[in-house]
């Protein structure tokens, strides 16, 4: 069984993720196959649009092949670097793609799933959408362009999502601009068949099948999030939460205390830099350098052990406190790679 199904239907290219037991988590071969298909369709005059979805199962894409990346990181890191290099090329190609891309974020859309849906011109959420960038819980950071997308969300919601890894639903995705349309899951097959028949009418088809989304619950906390996450210094965010005086602040602080201090500091800097990054290519180049450094550090290997391998959910972070993660450590993690090791676009 192939992990990604590539086909054409009418005048559209179809990309269907097909690893249901792994909730369609991306591996290097899947990214390579998608890159090849997108590259071929780019110059194919018969293909007018691209649809990305999943073949079966309960999620669009749960992320990347984290277990493989951690095993590689514990060794020489070469397989992890190869995965990131290929995945980020896919993210960048989608971001710069001239033909319209429609991503169907039906079900779990996390990590790598965010990376292949957010560059799409049309991002369809449903009542099943569960969107998150939960990487700080495994000692990683919101990569695949997270520094770009999250830093451009309203107020400080991006910083809140990056640090907490909070899950948001389809209505919240639409309200924040992470989704362009909200459709009932039952209407998705009709949307795909109508787009395949008339790819020039994507906007009209999605608008026609859209329904009014439920209330975006996260927006009720917008003022609190903007105030509590106002600082780009993690210690100041913690101080604000400790003085917050609300159930929301207390619950958020409790969540952050379970995350990797190093990963949270990396994430805050990533969003700070991402907000003024000149191009998405520059963003990917920086995230690749950060990723190459982080996957060989203790917290990522330990986070994957605790959350994914042994599932004891008791990671022993090192450094264990915010204060112990020095500016020097963050500078090392953000250090550019030598020119011959840098990420390059496809």
Q: Give all domains of the chain, ordered by start, each with its CATH number.
A: 4-341 (3.90.226.10)
Provide the pLDDT confidence category of residue 244 given band limits of 50, 70 and 90.
very high
Distance CA 255, CA 164 (A): 6
* Alpha-carbon dihedral 253, 112, 23, 294, rounded to 10 degrees: -60
Alpha-carbon span 70 to 215, nearest angstrom: 38
Compute the average pLDDT of residues 289-294.
97
0.75 exceeded by the pTM?
Answer: yes
Q: What share of the chain is helix, strand, coil (3-state, %, to 5)?
A: 55, 10, 35
> For residue 231, what pLDDT is reported?
98
The tokens describing 345, both together, are: 């676009």
The pLDDT score that the predictor gives to residue 56 is 85
* Helix (H/G/I), strand (E/B), else coil: 75: coil
Which are the catalytic amino acids? 64, 112, 135, 143
Mean pLDDT of the chain: 97
Q: How confident is the model at residue 26 (pLDDT cuts 50, 70, 90)?
A: very high
Query: What does the pLDDT read at residue 57?
Result: 80
The residue written with tokens 């600082």 in the block is 231
Q: Residue 211's CB: how many other CB atoms inside 10 A?
A: 12
pLDDT of residue 29: 97
> Which pLDDT tens digit goes with each residue over 141-186?
999 999 999 999 999 999 999 999 999 999 999 999 999 999 999 9
15 beta partners: 6, 52
Q: Do 102 and 196 meet the contact criterion of CB atoms below 8 Å apart?
A: no
Q: Which residues pair with 104 in a beta bridge?
A: 124
Query: In angstroms, rounded to a whole number, what is the distance separating the alpha carbons of residues 113 and 332?
Result: 28
CA 94 to chain centre: 14
> What confidence tens digit (pLDDT) does each residue in 78-130 have?
999 999 999 999 999 999 999 999 999 999 999 999 999 999 999 999 999 99
Judged against a pLDDT cut of 90, whether residue 1 lies above it is answered with: no
Q: Which pair of structure tokens corresponds to residue 148?
A: 């770009």
Containing 59, the helix (H) or strand (E) segment is strand 59-61
Q: In percent, how much of the chain has pLDDT > 90?
A: 98
Predicted confidence (pLDDT) at residue 58 exceeds the cutoff of 90: no
Tokens of 231: 């600082």
Give the pLDDT confidence score for residue 14 in this predicted structure: 98
Averaged pLDDT for residues 37-65 = 95
Residue 129, judged by CB atoms within 10 A of its CB (0-12, 13-18, 19+), counts as buried
Quick one: residue 111, left, alpha or beta (phi over 0 = left, psi -120 to 50 = alpha)?
A: left
Interatomic CA distance for residues 184 and 206, integer angstroms: 11
User: How far apart (Å, rounded) are the C-alpha atoms in residues 33 and 17?
Assistant: 11
Q: Which DSSP string do the residues of 6-46 spell out, in sequence order?
A: EEEETTEEEEEE--GGGTT-B-HHHHHHHHHHHHHHHT-TT
């Amino acid at each position: 069984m192939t992990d990604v199904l590539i086909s054409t239907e009418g005048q559209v290219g179809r990309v269907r993720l097909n690893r249901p037991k792994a909730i369609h988590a991306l591996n290097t071969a899947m990214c390579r196959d998608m890159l090849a298909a997108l590259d071929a369709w780019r110059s194919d005059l018969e293909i007018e649009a691209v649809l990305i979805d999943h073949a079966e199962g309960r999620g669009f894409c749960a992320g990347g092949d984290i277990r493989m990346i951690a095993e590689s990181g514990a060794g020489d890191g070469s397989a992890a670097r190869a995965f990131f290099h290929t995945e980020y090329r896919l993210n960048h190609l989608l971001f710069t793609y001239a033909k319209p891309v429609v991503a169907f974020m039906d079900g779990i859309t996390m990590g790598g799933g965010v990376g292949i849906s957010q560059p799409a011109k049309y991002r369809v959420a449903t009542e099943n959408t569960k969107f998150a960038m939960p990487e700080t819980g495994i000692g990683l950071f919101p990569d695949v362009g997270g520094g770009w997308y999250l830093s451009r969300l309203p107020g400080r919601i991006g910083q809140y999502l990056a640090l907490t890894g909070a899950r948001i639903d389809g209505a919240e995705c639409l309200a924040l601009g992470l989704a362009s349309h909200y459709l009932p899951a039952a209407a998705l097959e009709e949307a795909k068949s109508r787009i395949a028949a008339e790819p020039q009418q994507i906007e009209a088809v999605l608008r026609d099948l859209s329904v009014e989304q439920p209330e975006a619950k996260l927006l009720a906390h917008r003022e609190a999030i903007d105030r509590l996450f106002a600082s780009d210094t993690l210690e100041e965010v913690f101080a604000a939460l400790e003085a917050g005086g609300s159930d929301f602040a207390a619950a958020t602080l409790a969540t952050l205390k379970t995350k990797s201090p190093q990963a949270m500091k990396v994430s805050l800097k990533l969003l700070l830099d991402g907000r003024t990054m000149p191009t998405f290519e520059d963003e990917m180049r920086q995230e690749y350098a950060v990723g190459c450094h982080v996957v060989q550090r203790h917290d990522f290997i330990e986070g994957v052990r605790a959350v994914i391998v042994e599932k004891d959910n008791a990671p022993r972070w090192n450094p264990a406190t915010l204060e112990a993660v020095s500016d020097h450590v963050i500078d090392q993690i953000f250090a550019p790679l030598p020119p011959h090791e840098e990420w390059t676009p496809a």
